[in-house]
Amino acid sequence: MTKLVACVLAAVLIACSPAARATERATPDDTARFLAGLRPSPSSPLNTLTKSAVWQRHAARFDALFELKDRASLSKIRVFATKEMPQTDRPLLYFFSGPDFLYANAFFADATTYVLSGLEPAGEIPRIEDLNPRALEYTLHNTERSLSSVLSLSFFQTNDMRRQLSAGPVFGTLPILYVFLARAGKTVSEAEAIVLDQEGNVKQADAGRKSGEIGEASQDGARGLRIVFSDKDHSRQTLYYFSGDVSNDGFRKSGLLKFCGKLGQANAFIKSASYLLHRDRYADLREFILKQSTLVLQDDSGIPISYFDPLKWELQPFGNYVGPIPLFRNRYQASLARLFRARDRKGIDFGVGYQWRTNTSNLLLAVKKVPIL
């Protein structure tokens, strides 16, 4: 009898050991919910971690922050999109976005495919269940810090974000994307690291290779992520994030130009983009967006108004154009100011972009005209 008890006890100890628990992997959806401060499924190995005071403080903080953000702007943006924007179910191209699925989803909730890009590393699939208490506390705190500017202003502060997203056992844009997806009511079914070849085809990334360098591209092309998710209104949507340089040479060599071209006619969103599309160095990307897009929604940091041919585009201004913030004062557009003084300018009741206060924010909706045959 004593031998039987000893065997049972040994089996229990083995089952409870770290090695045994490591085989119990959390699903992508449970990981997303946990990082977002939402309870994972009852059977998840992450459930026990929600009992800690650290996670409960994290959950309460995110509850308050996201409720405030939704009330102040996101709910109003959804109303704006429904009322003012046609055909938002096309693929969405959102360059210079970083991990900003928050605004991409608010403006383009029905997109079948989202393509986001930035210099920030994609990161690896996080294994929260393997973290020790100290690493877990750091991960939750770093996630909060990484989101502080986009939740309080409307954009990521690039230098801070690069530093924050490159540190810690859980790093890169994936944890941030997970938080936004979970808080938007999405159910994540798949998540994988990917890489593009020179022809823009998607391949599974080498699992043994670390992708922690900012803006890293493999010898094949841009490295990134593919996340598949759904919600009550959409049975399947796909989010791609690519890390890398999208200036003229980088855009072509990364395979990103061909990948996006295969998506067909798309919508484009540009916000808080450092006025990079004003520069010749980004002329290829600017030309591609104008050619590939049926609709472009942007603030004044996007494509200069002079590139929108009035014979091809209908332009509708929203909000107030008060000029760039001091850091970009040399990017003032007199022709854009004239457009915003026109009678058909419409108001907006939310803030967006660098000029994030409600009465100083601007958006330009450009819709490509249907050619007359």
| CA angle at 315 for the pair 312 and 317, rounded to the nearest 5° | 170
- Report, in angstroms and rounded to the nearest whole number, the Rg of the chain calculated over CA atoms: 22
Tell me what the mean pLDDT of segment 231-235 comes to: 96
Report d(CA 141, CA 53) in Å as an integer: 13
pLDDT of residue 165: 55
SS3 94: strand
Helix (H) or strand (E) holding 68: helix 53-69
CA distance 225 to 192: 6
By C-alpha distance, which of 144, 204, 190, 196 is closest to 168?
144
What is residue 134's predicted lDDT score, i.e. its pLDDT?
92
For the ranges 91-95, 116-120, 205-209, 328-332, the lowest mean pLDDT is seen at: 205-209
Phi, psi (degrees; rounded to nearest 5) at 341: -90, 0
Instruction: Determine the pLDDT at residue 150.
Output: 67
The whole-number pLDDT of residue 163 equals: 53
Check if the beta carbon of residue 252 is closer than 8 Å to that of residue 284.
yes
Rounded CA gap, 357 and 126, in Å?
A: 35
Rounded Cα–Cα distance for residues 128 and 319 (Å) = 42
Query: Quick one: average pLDDT of 236-246?
Result: 95
Please give the mean pLDDT across all residues of the chain.
87
Task: Give the H or E element holding residue 350.
Answer: none
Alpha-carbon distance of 213 to 172, in angstroms, equals 10
Position 24 scores a pLDDT of: 81
pLDDT digits (tens, 9 = 90+) for 285-315: 999 999 999 999 999 999 999 999 999 999 9
Among the listed residues 116, 130, 119, the one whose alpha carbon sits nearest the alpha carbon of residue 162: 119
Task: Decide if pLDDT at 260 tops 80.
Answer: yes
Confidence class for position 371, pLDDT limits 50, 70, 90: low
pLDDT of residue 216: 45
Task: Convert the pLDDT of each residue in 105-143 to its tens digit.
Answer: 999 999 999 999 998 888 888 899 999 999 999 899 888
Q: Give 75's strand partners.
A: none
Residues forming a β-bridge with 113: 238
Is the distance from CB of 92 to CB of 239 less than 8 angstroms?
no
pLDDT at 23 over 60: no
Q: Which two tokens stand for residue 232?
A: 């009550």
Report the b/e string of 241-253 with b at 16+ CB within 10 A. bbbbbbbbebbbe
Residue 247's region, left for phi above 0, alpha for psi from -120 to 50, else beta, is: beta
Give dist(CA 309, CA 36) in Å, integer: 43
pTM: predicted TM-score of the whole model, two decimal places: 0.88
CB contact set of 145 (below 8 Å; sequence gap of 6+): 164
Contacts of 158 (CB under 8 A, 6+ apart): 98, 119, 274
Please tell me whether residue 358 adopts helix, strand or coil conformation: helix
Cα separation of 266 and 230, whole Å? 20
The pLDDT score that the predictor gives to residue 11 is: 43
Q: Is the pLDDT score of 208 beyond 70?
A: no
State pLDDT tens for residues 212-223.
443 444 456 899
Q: 224 and 242 in contact (C-beta within 8 Å)? A: yes
Between these two residues, 371 and 33, which has the higher pLDDT value? 33
Residue 159, pLDDT score: 52
Stronger pLDDT, 2 or 63, i.e. the higher one: 63
Tell me: pLDDT of 22 over 70.
no
> Which pLDDT score, from 0 to 100, does residue 121 have?
87
